[in-house]
Every structure is written in C-alpha cells, then in structure tokens.
Amino acid sequence: MLKFFSGLAAAALLMSSTSAIAAECSNDTWKKIMERGKIVVGVKADYKPWGFRDTSGDIIGMEPDMARDVAETMGVELELMPVVSSNRMQFLEQGQIDLMIATMTDRPDRRAIVGIPGPAYYTSGTNIMSPKALGFTEWEDLRGKPVCGIQGAFYNQIVEDRYGVQIVAFGGTAEAKQALRDKKCVAYIYDDSAIGSDIASGNWDDFEMPLASEDDSPWGLAVPLAERNCLFGRFMSGMQYAWHSEGTLIELEKKWGVKPSGFLQKMHERMADHLASE
C-alpha cells in the first residue's frame, strides 16, 4: 500500500493558503473534487506498464497507482478515465478529467494549454522498435521509409524533419504495433521506456530497439491551466516532491518492471532528507 504524503502535501497546502493566492485563484477544480468526493484522472490504457487494462478490463499500472495515491491523500474516491495522446489535453481543458497523469512530455507549447506543476516525475527518450532482420543501426537508415507512430506525439515532426522519416500515425499504441507486425511500416517509434518493456515482455522476440535514444525529455502531470499556481497545482507539486524524496516512484518502477531510471535515482538523492541519516 502506498504511503500517504501528509508532510510535503500539507506543506504544499499551506503554501497555497496565502492571501495573495487566494485573491487570484478560484480553485474551481479543487472545490469540484471536494464537493462531489471524487477525482477523475485521465491515464493511458494502452501503454504498459504505465497504464493498461488487466484481464478484467480494469486500468492498472504505474500511473494509475500514482492517481490512486493522489485520491487517497485528498480523501476522495478515484475514477480513472482512459485517454490517448491526441485527446488528453483536450479532456483536461473541457473538464472531462480533473487531473492528467498520462506519459506526457513537458513542452513549452503544452504549458500554454494545460498547467504542468513541477518537478517532473519521469523522463524518457525517443527510439524505435523494428524487426531484427532489417538490421537498422542509425536513424539515417529510416530516411524515406514508413514508420508507425502515435497521433499527437511531439517527436513525429522532429524525426520527419531531422531524418526524412515518413510517419504513419495511429490513434493508439495497439494499432500502431499491429501495423508493425502486419509490415505496414518498417519500425514503430515511441518512448524508449515503453519499447524496452514491450521487448522484455517476451512477445516481441524477433524485434529490437537498435538505435541510440534521442531527445530525452521530462514527463509532467497536468492540472487545468488556471490552477497551475493555485491550490491544486501546488498540491500536485507537493505530491511529486514527496514521491521523489520518499522513493515511491522507484518502488513503483520495480513493481511494474520498468527499467531502472537514472533520473529517478538522481531525484531521490537530491530531495532526500539530509538529516535522516544523522
């Protein structure tokens, strides 16, 4: 069972209770969550192990566990709503979800649309999964070739411009990976963490992740833009600081079989209590 984060979360709440913030913030989403006693969190349902469906159809994974801890800390019920890359920010803007924890890379253009409170909770780079038989060794090998990707992924345009890749975009990872198996493309482009997990699952023994990852980028969860610097945004900053300082994300990484991240270890050491070992 995950720990409650009373210490840092409470600190975040205290920070947000200043008169200056109260004068500028409506805190509508926070109030809505508390009044109905339930938080609706958008998570991936097709991105194992970060968010996926078990044999019963329930959404499980590392990010649903994080969402569950948020709900427990707030003392409300949790509803998980599946989102994909192309609709997750729209759902948050429209109020269909209150919070989004859905493998989203933190980028300036996205900060103009949704509120992304720091610190980042994870990072990943861009890579491909391709048949071993094709023998790709460098990104230039993909020039002019069709590569299956996901609609809304920021790196689609980057690899098109940088390497002349022809992105064939799909709405979800399942469709994109099936297209790879059906030989509609020569590779599947995605986050290196997820590709590593796919290959480790034993279901992709004839495939590999052959290239050096590029553009390692931070992941951010998101609240409505107007609440980034208000009660809800500061509360979620507190949650993320606590997840790092208490080693919770490292524990979840082990639980869900994610390849150990140097970023999580570095953040845990940076934010650890310097008096704890004395």
- CA-CA distance, 179 to 181, in Å (whole number)? 5
Residue 19: per-residue pLDDT:
47
pLDDT per position as a tens digit, 225-253: 999 999 999 999 999 999 999 999 999 99
Residue 1: per-residue pLDDT:
42
Residue 197: per-residue pLDDT:
77
CA-based nearest residue to 80, from 51, 33, 43, 32? 43
Question: Helix/strand/coil (H, E, C) string of 50-63?
Answer: CEEECCCCCEECHH
Residue 276: per-residue pLDDT:
66
Q: Does domain 28-121+220-271 have CATH number 3.40.50.620?
A: no
Model confidence at 6, pLDDT cuts 50, 70, 90, reads very low
pLDDT per position as a tens digit, 169-209: 998 888 999 999 999 999 999 988 888 878 877 889 999 99
Least confident of 15-24, 77-86, 233-242, 258-267: 15-24
Structure pTM? Answer: 0.78
Side-chain half-sphere exposure of 271, counting CA atoms within 13 A: 22
Residue 277: per-residue pLDDT:
59
Orientation angle between helical segments 262-271 and 248-255, nearest 10 degrees: 150
Q: Which CATH number fits domain 124-216: 3.20.20.70, 3.40.190.10, 3.40.50.2300, 3.30.210.10?
A: 3.40.190.10
How confident is the model over 253-258, as a mean pLDDT?
88
Fold match, 28-121+220-271 / 124-216: yes
Residue boundaries of the structural domains of the chain: 28-121+220-271, 124-216
Q: Quote the percentage of the chain above a pLDDT of 90.
A: 72
CB 30 within 8 A of CB 231: yes
pLDDT per position as a tens digit, 77-114: 999 999 998 899 999 999 999 999 999 989 999 999 99
